[in-house]
């Protein structure tokens, strides 16, 4: 069945999108939310479970204090109010990955609510209103066994409850309007913002590929100028920044085609497929009745103003403020700075500068040579096996004349290959620029002797011909010479 | 009857500690009594003879090694089949859990083991503690030792019947709406619902989490206090457990001093619907307490009239959620898994087949009360009534130190009489429910017979004032025994109806 | 508000309990009687009365973020109606994760 898609620009000319984003953040506490099983990704199935996270008859939850602290710190960082008194609630629904067949969550009394964040999309600021940030627990994981490995046509499923009971904070936005065609980019920037924020807070590993940050993206369209929101779809578990943008782009085109064709959007959940489309899931018209009620097994959480103030003290400089500060300190142009942010290189360059390099040098290495390596490896800059301190060391070697740019690239190869620090690689590969004047001088003499007519032209004042002799010398020195120095020597010899 | 069977837990512990008898002999004697009479009483779902004897031997070895024994060391106990004990079948009286062996111990189970209490086995109960007669067990009906055609009360009918038939001197129960006190009342035994949060719920299979209270069952007030002392107190594994020292319940039970105590009779827990014989015994008990120096006052708790209704909304709501986990995926019964049937359908089929009628009724009522559009009118209103009942208690406890009432409006009814009339069944818990809703503590003590069947006297005290229950209970027990020339159960043993309890052990 | 057998069937579906026709027709009137009897709570539940969800008013009961022992995988799977590769084996799932 082929799905009709509208042209995106055309869609944006006719409709206004309304976004709603629900982001689940797995907290990096050492133990689980309600029991003392280790909170670690993966591992042998069902080896990190106990009566509590298995929901065995008789077991009872006890709240992890660190999870509460993390939730409050997240709330504060999102400019939320912190509830002076709130409860957990049971969200009742049957599903094999939920060991109790209810999720311990929060309902009408979230720990944090009414916040906002300001994000930046290509230099344009957007204010995102936060409805709530609440605490809950993650479910177990199922593997669907069958021909396709997909849930719909599996023969049976296998369940591993290691993840069951992992602490989660769910962050829900209010409807986001006024983004126009930037809606997909806004969503992506918002999730990237949250990812950076969680990293800065140190509350989560935010590894999207491991599911420690997951996004459900709601979108609806309304005719330009209308105020009544349209029916929305919720695309579940979009698990990379790129997919968030792509999934929303797709949904907007799909919904626009439906609406423009006189049809209507089904209020439903949809699944994103990495090949680039969404498919329908559960229809919201038959949505479950979750029968929320206050969790009787857990007592209310009532953080005192003093405790909240103490936690506020622990907040690091938050990414948006840091961004403003660094932009002013470094003095880059808007676009140059935006490139740094978009490349996810801000913290890396900051650390490189802290290790002694200039901002310009930090930007040069991370956004050119290292960005190319990350792209080739299909990973994030931060995942490259080189530290900011090593980049600063590399730059210092260049500035000291020990390395030229070409050699520096070889040194990067060495560092990435695990050969140690830049100086280790220089020593190990014998890569340093040859600064032994007699060896260089001999090479220059040989070059002049081998190219008498070029030498003659230089002697007669055609200084631009010097490039040919420099090339010859560099070739002989296998690149390990400072080109500027070679030029100096050639000219001095021929003058 | 064998004196080891008639002895109180306190006496047995003393004899074991003094080396007059071994725990093995005490344990074996009770196992023999179970073998002799349980065919008629049906109190036990599972008898763990080997385990019990091994535990008894361990106590005997401790004693032989000269180790200090804890106050109930070596004494046998019958455990309601709702407490998890690692590797011991735990069914909660339900087919859906048949064959399940918990991989862990309840906190109370561990504390019993620590104290050297010997667990004889698991006792029958209404399925997941839902009932007032033990007729809702998925396995069989337990009979009242006083009259085998009568119910032993519920949901802890098995534990109460085990005590009254001298199969065990101690037992454990859970009280959500009266499941310890009502069986105690109708079997002539003692049952205590401690302050909510005063005994750990960890490892006790949940029926209604905000109401469930594990507690001691015994034949004497002192024995109940000794058991309370072993099982009670803060447990970090239960978030609702109270981190405060347990009041001196044993000291209170030994003292029984109620001189100058103000005892409040609750107007709303009497009158219409209460059997004349029950009211008569209750009045006599009040006189007995007066003779001991207590002052009787009248108190009114008008919201108690709504307690039953509020209870039958809050309890099933929590039940509907707590019993969701019995879904055939991880443990317990699985029905209809033919390789093609979906997980959803297997859940439907298993729960349809595995739960009994009362469990289904309550799950569906709870599902209804919590569902969108009905929550405020039902669950929300019930929680407001809960506030009103707490306020009534608070007010009453300013004029009285304890409140009293009959434990149940009638004596044990006949097996089968109320099975098709759920509402009539629910009324058995009329007097016990308010304390569960408010979270305070209460005890039922035998106060005589009406038409040959036991009547219970209920004492209610504020939260964390559990010692007052034992003080009043001990006073009443002593005063009545003085009049009767023995305990109420002595009257059963002396009557032809109790002849079978002599078993094979004369 | 008489509950019909169809209402009961809808609730039973929500509660994942398959009821027979006989059970449905027996339950509907019973539930009606019970619900009538409990509906009285609304009479005294005036707007100014706060709700009580927990009998004992405790707050802030937490455990330290410390790892303790987990169960052995064999103990975890011992009661499983079916298991495979260290996992619980369950029939095919029709619904979706939420
Ligand atoms: Mg959620
Ligand atoms: Zn666990």
Q: How many Cβ atoms are within 10 Å of A316's Cβ, its own excluded?
A: 14
Neighbouring subunits of A (3+ Cβ pairs under 8 A): B, C
Contact C80, C90 (CB under 8 A): no
Residues A308 and A325 both lie in one domain: no
Structural domain of C17: 5-44
The token pair at C27 is 């339950």
Domain membership of residue A214 (yes or no) is yes
Shortest CB distance from A63 goes to which of B239, B329, B370?
B239
Q: Do B347 and C39 touch (CB under 8 A)?
A: no
| pLDDT (0 to 100) of residue A151 | 66
**Buried (b) or exposed (e) across C61-85, using 16+ Cβ within 10 A?**
bbbebebeebbebebbbebbbebee
Looking at chain B, which residue has its C-alpha nearest residue C88? B330
Indicate whether C81 belongs to any domain: no
From chain A, the residues in CB contact with C53 under 8 A are 87, 293-294, 296
Tell whether A189 and A332 lie within a shared domain: no
Asked if the structure places residue A238 within a domain, the reply is yes
Q: Measuring CA to CA, which residue among B77, B30, B24 is closest to residue B54?
A: B24
Q: Which ranges constitute the DSSP H helices of A38-172?
A: 65-77
C-alpha dihedral over A50, A54, A59, A62, to 10 degrees? 70
Ligand 1 centre and the CA of A105: distance in Å?
A: 7
Number of other CB atoms surrounding residue A282 within 10 Å: 17
- Note whether A262 contacts B: Cβ–Cβ < 8 A: no
| B143, B147, B148, B150: CA torsion to nearest 10 | -60
| Cβ B130 vs Cβ B362: under 8 Å | yes
Are B43 and B161 in contact by the 8 Å Cβ rule? The answer is: yes
Residue A2, domain member (yes or no): no
Task: Round to whole Å and give the CA distance between A260 and A282.
Answer: 24
Nearest ligand to the C-alpha atom of residue A51 = 2
**Does residue B257 have a pLDDT over 90?**
yes
Q: Can you state the percent helix, strand and coil of chain B, rounding each to 5?
A: 45, 15, 40
Query: What does the pLDDT look like over B13-30, one tens digit per residue?
Result: 999 999 999 999 999 999
Count other Cβ atoms within 10 Å, centred on residue A20. 19
Chain B residues lying within 8 Å of A297, measured CB to CB: 206, 209, 239-240
Under DSSP, is residue C83 helix (H, G, I), strand (E, B) or coil? Answer: strand
Residue A474 lies in a domain: yes
Among A68, A93, A299, whose Cβ lies nearest the Cβ of C54? Answer: A299
Q: What is the pLDDT of residue A473?
A: 85
CA distance A472 to A444: 9
Mean pLDDT computed over every residue of chain B: 96
- Given 3-state DSSP classes, what are the helix, strand and coil percentages for chain A, each rounded to the nearest 5? 40, 20, 35
Last residue in a domain, options A312, A332, A347? A312
In a domain, C85, yes or no: no
Domain of A460 in residue numbering reads as: 437-494
B303 at the C interface (CB within 8 A)?
Answer: yes
Domain endpoint, select from A312, A333, A360: A312
Cβ contact A257:A4 at 8 Å: yes
pLDDT value of position B409: 96
Q: In this structure, are A230 and A253 located in the same domain?
A: yes
Centre a 10 Å sphere on the Cβ of residue C1 and count the other Cβ atoms it contains: 9
If one compares B414 and C96, the residue with the highest pLDDT of the two is: B414
Interval B278-300 mean pLDDT: 98
Predicted confidence at residue A435, as pLDDT, reads 66
Whether A259 and A123 map to the same domain: the answer is yes
**A354 and A244 within one domain:** no
The strand pairing partners of B174, in sequence order, are: B214
Provide the pLDDT confidence category of residue B38 given band limits of 50, 70 and 90: very high
pLDDT < 50 positions in chain C = none
In this structure, the answer to whether residues A270 and A328 fall within a common structural domain is no
Of A258, A280, A312, which residue sits at a domain end? A312
Q: Which residues contact C61 (CB under 8 A, 6 or more apart)?
A: A62, A63, A298, A299, B239, B240
**pLDDT digit string (tens) for B453-498?**
999 999 999 999 999 999 999 999 999 999 999 999 999 999 999 9
- Does A62 sit within 8 Å of B237, measured CB to CB? yes
Q: What is the pLDDT of residue A149?
A: 64
| Residue pLDDT, tens place only, A250-285 | 999 999 999 999 999 999 899 999 889 999 886 654
One domain, residues A90 and A157: yes
* Ligand closest to CA C67: 2
Residue B115: pLDDT band with limits 50, 70, 90:
very high
User: In whole angstroms, what is the distance from residue B141 CA to residue B356 CA?
Assistant: 13
Give the tens place of pLDDT for each residue, B436-461.
Answer: 999 999 999 999 999 999 999 999 99
- Ligand 1 centre to CA of A250 (Å) is 25
User: Which chain A residue has the Cα nearest residue B85?
Assistant: A58
Query: Is residue C10 domain-resident?
Result: yes
Residues A342 and A400 in one domain: yes
Residues A253 and A335 in one domain: no
**Domains within chain B, CATH numbers bracketed:** 3-306+384-504 (3.90.1300.10)
Is C77 within 8 Å of C86 (Cβ atoms)?
Answer: yes
Q: Are B456 and B186 in contact (CB under 8 A)?
A: yes
> Quick check: bond before A37 cis, omega within 30?
no
Contacts of C56 in chain B (CB under 8 A): 195-197, 240, 242, 439, 463
pLDDT average, residue stretch B345-374: 96
Query: SS3 of A236, please?
Result: strand
What's the pLDDT score for residue A469? 86
What are chain C's partners, defined as 3 or more CB pairs within 8 angstroms?
A: A, B
Q: Which residue of B has its CA nearest to C48?
A: B384
Residue C50 lies in a domain: no
- Please state, in angstroms and rounded to a whole number, the distance separating the CA atoms of residues C55 and A494: 99
Is the pLDDT at B506 greater than 50? The verdict is no
User: Tens digit of pLDDT for each residue in C85-94?
Assistant: 999 999 999 8
DSSP-derived letter for residue A31 is B
* A442 and A405 assigned to the same domain: no
- Chain B residues lying within 8 Å of A36, measured CB to CB: none
Ligand 2: centre distance to CA A35 (Å): 5
Size of chain A, expressed as the number of residues it contains: 495
**Local confidence pLDDT in tens for the 495 residues of chain A:** 578 899 999 999 999 999 999 999 999 999 999 999 999 998 999 999 999 999 999 999 999 999 999 999 999 999 999 999 999 999 999 999 999 999 999 999 999 999 999 998 887 899 999 999 999 999 999 999 987 666 667 899 999 999 999 999 999 999 999 999 999 999 999 999 999 899 999 999 999 888 999 999 999 999 998 999 999 999 987 889 999 999 999 999 999 999 999 999 999 899 999 889 999 886 654 567 999 999 999 999 999 999 999 999 999 988 888 888 999 999 998 888 888 988 889 989 999 999 999 999 999 999 999 999 999 988 888 889 999 999 999 999 888 888 888 889 999 999 999 999 998 998 888 887 776 677 788 888 888 888 888 888 888 888 888 888 888 888 888 777 778 888 888 888 887
3-state secondary structure of B301: coil
A241: phi then psi, degrees, rounded to nearest 5: -60, -40
- Domain total for chain A? 3
Task: Tell me the whole-structure pTM to 2 decimals.
Answer: 0.89
A113 and A241 housed in the same domain: yes
Contact list, B343 vs chain C (CB under 8 Å): 90-94
For residue B347, the chain A residue with the least C-alpha distance is A94
CA–CA dist B103, B86 (Å, integer): 5
A226 touches A22 (CB < 8 A): no
State in Å: Cα A170 to ligand 1 middle.
6
- Residues B12, B75: contact at Cβ < 8 Å? yes
Number of domains in chain C: 1
Token pair in block for residue A350: 């900051």
ipTM of the complex: 0.97
Q: Cα angle at A329 between A325 and A331, to 5 degrees?
A: 115
Q: Which of B293, B362, C66 is nearest to A67 (CA)?
A: C66
Q: Which two tokens stand for residue B195?
A: 């302050």
Q: How far is C47 from chain A (nearest CA, A)?
A: 18
CATH number for the domain including A462? 1.10.10
Q: Which two tokens stand for residue A17?
A: 């999108």
Is C15 inside a domain boundary? yes
Assigned domain for A76 exists: yes
Residues A46 and A108 reside in one and the same domain: yes
CA distances from B201 to B105, B160, B183 (A): 11, 20, 20
* pLDDT at residue A100, rounded to an integer: 98
Instruction: Assess whether pLDDT exceeds 60 at residue B505.
Output: no
């Amino acid at each position: 069945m082929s799905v009709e898609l509208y042209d995106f620009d055309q869609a944006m000319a006719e409709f206004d999108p309304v976004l709603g984003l629900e982001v689940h953040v797995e907290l990096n506490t050492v133990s689980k939310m309600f029991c003392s099983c280790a909170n670690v990704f993966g591992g042998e199935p069902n080896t990190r479970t106990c009566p509590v996270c298995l929901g065995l008859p008789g077991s009872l939850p006890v709240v992890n204090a660190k999870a509460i602290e993390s939730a409050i710190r997240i709330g504060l960082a999102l400019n939320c109010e912190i509830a002076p008194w709130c409860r957990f609630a049971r969200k009742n629904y049957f599903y094999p990955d939920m060991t109790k067949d209810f999720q311990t969550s929060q309902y009408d009394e979230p720990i944090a609510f009414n916040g906002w964040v300001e994000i930046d999309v290509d230099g344009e600021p957007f204010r995102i209103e936060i409805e709530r940030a609440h605490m809950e627990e993650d479910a177990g994981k199922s593997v669907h066994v069958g021909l396709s490995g997909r849930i719909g046509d599996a023969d049976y499923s296998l369940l591993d409850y290691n993840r069951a009971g992992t602490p989660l904070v769910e962050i829900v936005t209010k409807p986001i309007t006024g983004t126009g065609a930037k809606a997909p980019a806004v969503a992506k920037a918002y999730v990237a913002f949250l990812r950076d924020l969680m990293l800065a807070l140190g509350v989560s590993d935010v590894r999207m590929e491991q599911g420690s940050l997951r996004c459900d993206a709601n979108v609806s369209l309304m005719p330009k100028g209308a105020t009544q929101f349209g029916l929305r779809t919720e695309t579940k578990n979009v698990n990379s920044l790129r997919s968030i943008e792509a999934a929303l782009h797709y949904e907007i085109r799909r919904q626009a085609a439906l609406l423009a064709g006189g049809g209507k959007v089904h209020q439903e959940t949809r699944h994103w497929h990495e090949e680039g489309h969404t498919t329908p899931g559960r229809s919201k018209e038959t949505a479950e009745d979750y029968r929320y009620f206050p969790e009787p097994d857990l007592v209310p959480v009532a953080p005192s103003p003093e405790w909240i103030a103490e936690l506020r003290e622990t907040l690091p400089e938050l990414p948006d403020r840091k961004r403003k500060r660094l932009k002013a300190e470094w003095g880059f142009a808007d676009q140059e700075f935006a490139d740094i942010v978009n490349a996810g290189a801000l913290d890396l360059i900051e650390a490189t500068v802290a290790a002694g390099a200039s901002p310009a040098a930090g930007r040069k290495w991370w956004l050119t040579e290292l960005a190319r390596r990350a792209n080739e490896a299909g990973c994030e800059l931060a995942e490259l096996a080189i530290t900011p301190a090593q980049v600063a060391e590399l730059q210092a070697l260049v500035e000291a004349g020990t390395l030229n740019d070409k050699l520096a690239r070889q040194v990067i190869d060495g560092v990435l290959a695990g050969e140690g620090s830049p100086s280790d690689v220089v020593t190990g590969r014998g890569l340093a620029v040859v600064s032994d004047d007699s060896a260089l001088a001999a090479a220059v003499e040989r070059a002049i002797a081998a190219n008498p007519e070029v030498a003659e032209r230089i002697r007669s004042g055609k200084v631009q011909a010097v490039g040919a002799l420099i090339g010859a010398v560099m070739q002989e020195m296998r690149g390990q010479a400072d080109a500027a120095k070679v030029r100096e020597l050639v000219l001095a010899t021929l003058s | 009857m064998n004196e080891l069977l008639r002895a109180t837990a306190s006496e047995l512990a003393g004899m074991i500690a003094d080396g007059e008898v071994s725990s093995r002999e005490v344990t074996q004697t009770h196992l023999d009594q179970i073998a002799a009479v349980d065919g008629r009483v049906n109190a036990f779902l599972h008898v763990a003879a080997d385990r019990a004897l091994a535990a008894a031997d361990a106590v005997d070895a401790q004693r032989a090694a000269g180790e200090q024994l804890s106050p109930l060391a070596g004494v046998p106990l019958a455990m309601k089949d709702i407490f998890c004990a690692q590797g011991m079948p735990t069914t909660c009286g339900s087919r859906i859990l048949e064959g399940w062996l918990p991989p862990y111990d309840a906190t109370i189970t561990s504390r019993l083991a620590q104290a050297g209490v010997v667990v004889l086995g698991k006792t029958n109960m209404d399925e997941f503690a839902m009932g007032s007669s033990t007729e809702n067990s998925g396995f069989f009906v337990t009979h009242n030792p006083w009259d085998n055609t009568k119910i032993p009360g519920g949901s802890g009918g098995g534990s109460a019947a085990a005590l009254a038939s001298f199969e065990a001197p101690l037992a454990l129960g859970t009280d959500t709406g009266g499941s310890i006190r009502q069986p105690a009342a109708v079997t002539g035994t003692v049952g205590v619902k401690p302050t909510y949060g005063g005994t750990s719920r960890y490892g006790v299979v949940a029926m209604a989490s905000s109401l469930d209270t594990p507690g001691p069952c015994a034949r004497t007030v002192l024995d109940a206090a000794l058991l309370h002392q072993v099982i009670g107190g803060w447990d970090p594994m239960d978030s609702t457990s109270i981190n405060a020292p347990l009041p001196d319940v044993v000291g209170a039970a030994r003292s029984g001093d109620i001189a100058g105590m103000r005892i409040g009779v609750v107007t709303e827990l009497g009158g219409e619907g209460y059997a004349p014989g029950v009211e008569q015994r209750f009045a006599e008990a009040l006189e007995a307490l007066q003779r001991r120096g207590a002052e009787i006052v009248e108190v009114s708790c008008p919201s108690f009239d709504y307690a039953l209704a509020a209870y039958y909304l809050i309890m099933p709501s929590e039940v509907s959620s707590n019993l969701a986990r019995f879904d055939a995926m991880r443990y317990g019964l699985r029905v209809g898994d033919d390789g093609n049937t979906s997980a959803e359908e297997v859940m439907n089929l298993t729960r349809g087949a595995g739960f009994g009628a009362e469990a289904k009724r309550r799950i569906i009522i709870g599902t209804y009360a919590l569902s969108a559009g009905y929550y405020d009118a039902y669950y929300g209103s019930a929680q407001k009534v809960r506030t009103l009942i707490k306020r009534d208690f608070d007010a009453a406890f300013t004029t009285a130190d304890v409140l009293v009432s009959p434990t149940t409006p009638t004596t044990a009814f006949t097996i089968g009489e109320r099975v098709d009339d759920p509402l009539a069944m629910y009324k058995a818990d009329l007097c016990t429910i308010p304390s569960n809703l408010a979270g305070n503590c209460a005890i039922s003590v035998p106060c005589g017979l009406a038409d040959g069947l036991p009547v219970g006297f209920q004492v209610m005290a504020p939260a964390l004032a559990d010692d007052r229950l034992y003080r009043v209970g001990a006073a009443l027990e002593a005063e009545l025994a003085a009049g009767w020339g023995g305990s109420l159960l002595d009257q059963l043993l002396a009557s032809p109806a109790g002849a079978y309890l002599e078993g094979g052990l004369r | 508000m008489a509950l019909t057998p169809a209402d009961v069937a809808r609730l039973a579906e929500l509660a994942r309990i398959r009821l027979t026709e006989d059970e449905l027709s027996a339950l509907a009137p019973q539930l009606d009687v019970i619900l009538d009897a409990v509906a009285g709570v609304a009479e005294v539940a005036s707007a100014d009365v706060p709700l009580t969800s927990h009998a004992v008013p405790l707050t802030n009961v937490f455990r330290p973020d410390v790892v303790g022992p987990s169960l052995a995988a064999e103990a975890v799977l011992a009661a499983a109606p079916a298991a495979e590769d260290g996992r619980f084996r369950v029939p095919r799932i029709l619904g979706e994760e939420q």
